[in-house]
Amino acid sequence: MTIEALKEKITALFPAVTFEEGGQWPTVLVEPTDWHRMAGILRQNDALYFDYLFCLTCIDWKTHLTMVYHLDSTNYRHNLVVKVNLLKMNPAIETVSDIWQTANFHEREVYEMFGVNFLHHPDLRLLILPDGWEGKHPLLKDFEDPINMIKL
Amino acid sequence: MIEEIASTADGNIILNLGPQHPATHGVLHLVITINGETIQKVEPHLGYIHRSIEKMCESLTYRQFIYVTSRMDYLSSHINNHACALCVEKGLQIEIPSRSQVIRVLMDELTRIASHELWWGAMAMDLGAFTPFFHAFREREAINDIMEETCGARLTMNYMVPGGVMQDIHPNFQRRVKEFITLFKSKVGEYNELVTGNIIFQNRMKGVGNLSAADAISFGCTGPTARGSGVSCDIRKLYPYEIYEKLDFEEILESDGDSFARYMVRVREMSQSISIIEQLIDNIPEGDFQAKTKAVLKLPKGEFYQRVETARGDFGVYIVSEGGTTPYRIKYRSPGFSNLSALDHMARGSKLGDLVAMMGTLDLVIPDIDR
């Protein structure tokens, strides 16, 4: 499927999404409440078939957080980037670990590093940080650690 | 192996493997729930070598941050550097001289062989065969010597920079690589005689740690781990970078999805890498080894993602730039992290003694997982 056809197909299925221009892959901006339902369709739809979530991460924009999902299809080899903006205060979004199992670990990492709460995640615990870690989330921009120098 | 054992009410025993255990190849801590000999659950506890590389890179310039990436997957340091250099070049939209492209691919493939050699020796050692480790290191030393002459380093290479490579290849490079090819070809038969055909080895590997193709994709497994389940995922073939599309090589696929299939993928991949090196070693174009770039690099505002195939799979660099001299955010998508997440699924229901064989064939490098 060409990029244009892919965009048309996605617009037809999800009229509410908006496309961002300029990236290397088609990029859509989705509302947090729509994301889980949309993820299921992206995975299941025969023409889209995004079965491989190759990157899941978060960006702290100081005013808000952005979840970024990079999707690939092993059948068609087309890619899609999905972005979801979250509030800075108590960010929360539905988990997609029931759709792509790799999201389980990646979401745990985002949970501890950015403080995003993944709703209905089967096992939302610290993964990399030591047990009993308290305080801010290290990858947020306002994180300061006077003892262990992370900012160079 | 046993650090502390705790029994639970339902007769399950909790067993800690690691963080300091020879078979985890680094500081990986697995909390294993067993009932008798049968594994109920495997829970990896990560972070013993977490250095917060992503955060560190936010305050390093586009010339500096590459050096840190050598310390993630230290067995594929050239390929990590390569991904970062490509990502910066993508942002700057610069073309690099063909000489440096060929040198980069040669270095990548030598690294891949060296990494697979180490894995092969360590894998056999995990299963109790000590001799193969020395055989593997004999050939790996030859590669390290070649690297040392050209890059000055044996492990953390820091050789690929935005615009090309750090310096030209050593005058001995071509001769010594050809000597290595002859050496490797004369020895690779020993590998199969010593390990692959060994019936004890096969019994411990076949049917152990099954991973179906659908699960491999869902868990985000890549590299030889997924190719052992028949999933075509070689980034060099699917999304070619540098000069890979002009090269003649085969993507190795095995369909069984067990530990032995993953083993065979890596052993066969070494010969493919040798074939790539043979195609290039006499055809290194003359010219510059580095493009002219500004002293201070500034990426335009935007997002750049580069995928490459390391010895362990799909490695991705995701740079979010705000137009400055340092990245606003960097994400490293490390193959080992996703491959490890499939371990629990693979191990459930099998015997404790087989866990080491499964971990061995995932080819885990812990700094790559923890970052």
Residue B196, domain CATH = 1.10.645.10
- Residues B290 and B288: their CA atoms lie apart, in Å, by 5
Instruction: State the residue range of the domain holding A77.
Output: 3-119
Chain B residues in contact with chain A using a Cβ-Cβ cutoff of 8 Å: 46-47, 50, 52, 54-56, 58-60, 90, 215, 217-220, 222, 231-233, 238, 302-305, 307, 314, 316, 318, 320, 328-329, 331, 333, 337-338, 340-341, 345, 370
Phi, then psi, of A75 in degrees rounded to 5? -85, -50
Whole domain around residue B325: which residue ranges? 52-370
Look at B316 and A55 and tell me if their CB atoms are within 8 Å.
yes
Confidence of residue B226 (pLDDT cuts 50, 70, 90): very high
Would residue B112 count as lying in a domain? Answer: yes
The total of structural domains in chain B comes to 1
Confidence band, pLDDT 50/70/90 cuts, at residue A68 = very high
- DSSP helix/strand/coil, B103: helix
What is the pLDDT of chain A when averaged over all its residues?
A: 86
Burial class from Cβ neighbours inside 10 Å (0-12, 13-18, 19+) for residue A63 reads exposed
pLDDT band at B364 (very low <50, low <70, confident <90, very high): confident
Q: Specify the pLDDT at position B2.
A: 45
* pLDDT value at B127 more than 90: no
Mean pLDDT over A8-16 rounds to 82
Determine the average pLDDT of the residues in B50-54.
Answer: 87
Task: Judge: B217–A51 Cβ closer than 8 Å, yes or no.
Answer: yes
Nearest to A59 among B238, B305, B320 (CB): B320
pLDDT over 70 percentage in chain A: 97
| Residues of chain A positioned with their CB less than 8 A from the CB of B306 | none
Least confident of A14-28, A108-122, B117-131, B158-172: A14-28
The DSSP secondary-structure symbol of B27 reads S
- Contact (CB<8Å) A52/B59: no
Asked, for residue A28, whether it belongs to a domain, the answer is yes
A101/B305 touch (CB, cutoff 8 Å), yes or no: no
> Looking at the predicted structure, is the pLDDT value of residue B99 above 80?
yes
**Taking each helix axis from N to C terminus, what angle separates B98-126 and B173-191, rounded to the nearest 10 degrees?**
30
Q: Is the pLDDT of residue A42 over 50?
A: yes
Evaluate whether residue B22 is within a structural domain: no
Beta strands (DSSP E) in chain B are: 5-7, 13-17, 29-35, 38-45, 160-161, 164-165, 302-309, 314-321, 329-333
Query: Of B303, B331, B338, which is closest to A23 when you measure between CB atoms?
Result: B303
**pLDDT at residue A47 is higher than 90:** no
- By Cβ distance, the residue of A60, A129, A152 closest to B56 is A152
Q: Do B345 and A152 touch (CB under 8 A)?
A: no
Cβ-based contacts of A39 with chain B (< 8 Å): none
Q: Tell me if A36 sits within 8 A of A19, measured CB to CB.
A: no
CB contact under 8 A, A57 and B219: no
Q: Do A128 and B46 touch (CB under 8 A)?
A: yes
Query: Whole-prediction pTM value?
Result: 0.87
For residue B215, which residues of chain A lie inside 8 Å, CB to CB?
101
Token pair listed for B157:
């290479």
pLDDT at A107: 92
Sign for the CA dihedral angle at A9, A15, A17, A22 comes to positive
Ranked by mean pLDDT, the top range of B4-18, B166-180, B185-199 is: B166-180
**ipTM for this model:** 0.88
**Secondary structure letter of residue B299 according to DSSP:** P
Assess contact for B365 and B70: CB atoms under 8 A.
Answer: no
Alpha-carbon span B275 to B281, nearest angstrom: 10
A140 found inside a domain: no
Q: Is the pLDDT of residue B8 over 80?
A: no
Q: Which residues from chain A sit within 8 angstroms of residue B329, using beta carbons?
A: 59-60
Cβ contact (<8 Å) for B341 and A151?
Answer: no
**Residue in chain A nearest B58 by alpha carbon:** A151
B chain contacts of residue A139, beta-carbon cutoff 8 Å? 54-55
Closest CA to B39 of B355, B357, B257: B355
Test B220 with A53 for CB contact under 8 angstroms: yes
CB pairs under 8 A between A and B: 83
Q: Give dist(CA B261, CA B255) in Å, integer.
A: 7
Q: What number is the average pLDDT over the span B57-75?
A: 88
Whether the pLDDT of residue B187 is over 50: the answer is yes
Q: What pLDDT score was predicted for residue B1?
A: 42
| Shortest Cα distance, chain B CAs vs residue A12, angstroms | 26
Cβ–Cβ gap B338/A152 under 8 Å: no
The number of domains in chain A is 1
| pLDDT at residue A149 in the model | 67
Query: Of B29, B43, B45, B332, which to mutate for an interface test with A (greatest number of A Cβ within 10 Å)?
Result: B45
Closest CA of chain B from A8, distance in Å? 23
Nearest CA in chain B to A62: B328
Pairing of strands A27-30, A79-87: parallel
Across-strand partners of B182? Answer: none
Model confidence pLDDT, tens digit, residues B297-323: 888 888 999 999 999 999 999 999 988
Nearest CA in chain B to A142: B55
CA separation for the pair B55, A141 (Å, rounded)? 9
- The yes-or-no verdict on residue B140 having pLDDT over 70 is yes
Comparing CB atoms, the residue among B58, B217, B337 nearest residue A74 is B217
Interface test with B, best of A63, A105, A106, A111 (most B CBs within 10 A): A105
Q: Write down the pLDDT at residue B352.
A: 87
Which of B27, B29, B217 to mutate to test binding with chain A, by most A CBs within 10 Å of its CB? B217
- A34 domain residue, yes or no: yes
Contacts of A59 in chain B (CB under 8 A): 320, 328-329
Residues B316, B319, B320, B321: what is their CA dihedral angle, to the nearest 10 degrees? -160
Determine the 3-state secondary structure of B212 from DSSP.
coil
Say which CATH number the domain at A35 has.
3.30.460.80
In a domain, B117, yes or no: yes
The pLDDT score that the predictor gives to residue A13 is 82
Nearest residue of A to residue B302 by CA position? A23
**CB–CB contact B333 A52 (8 Å):** no
With contacts defined as CB-CB under 8 Å, which chain A residues touch B211? none
